[in-house]
Amino acid sequence: MNTTNEEPEERPLLLLVGSSGGHLAQLLALRSWYETWPRCWVTFDTPGAVSLLTGEEVIPAHHPTTRNLPNLLRNTVLAARVLRRRRVAAVVTTGAGVAVPFVVLARLRRIPTVYIEVYDRIDTPTLTARLCRPFLSAMLVQWEEQRRQYPEATVVGTLL
């Protein structure tokens, strides 16, 4: 019970960051894990993402992100604004490019960062995983074989 006249402190939220399509589908597969947490999504404003995230709080990111420097800078500004204005418990992502500025800036703010490598990259690491890796609190993979690229990773099994 709040005995002062102060507003109760809001519960920190999970920031779920992922490109639309398969990256978003893999994050959505974690629903039983995150459904009791306050959360906010960062993804692209595409018809598929909008449909899948009906009723959820969504912050639209700039796309395309693949080797697009202007949108990397826009998403970096977006990440800085979101991480400054919101009380974030952790950033969880499956990539792709939109994840990089959120992971880097979250880690610099001492916010835990979790990267889940996508299920279809077994023999080689994704570019996003390579860029995010130095800033991660935890690296999760879906196949034991992926540990050849990420020996420190925890195998969580396939999400889809």
Measured in degrees and rounded to the nearest 5, phi and psi for residue 113 equal: -130, 130
Q: Which two tokens stand for residue 114?
A: 């979790």
pLDDT tens, position by position, 100-140: 999 999 999 999 999 999 988 899 999 999 999 999 999 99
pLDDT at position 8 over 70: no
Helices then strands, counting H and E runs in the chain, come out as 6, 7
Specify the residue for token string 């920190």.
12
Q: Report the pLDDT value the prediction gives residue 67, as an integer from 0 to 100.
A: 79
**Domain residue ranges of the chain, discontinuous segments joined by +:** 13-29+39-46+55-155
Q: What number is the average pLDDT over the span 61-67? A: 85
Return the CATH superfamily for domain 13-29+39-46+55-155. Answer: Glycogen Phosphorylase B; (3.40.50.2000)
> Cα separation of 90 and 87, whole Å?
9
The CA distances from residue 54 to 72, 117, 122, 133, 158, in Å, are 26, 25, 32, 31, 25
pLDDT tens, position by position, 41-57: 999 999 999 999 999 99
Q: Report the pLDDT value the prediction gives residue 1, as an integer from 0 to 100.
A: 37
**125 contacts 104 by C-beta, under 8 angstroms:** no
> Cα separation of 94 and 29, whole Å?
11
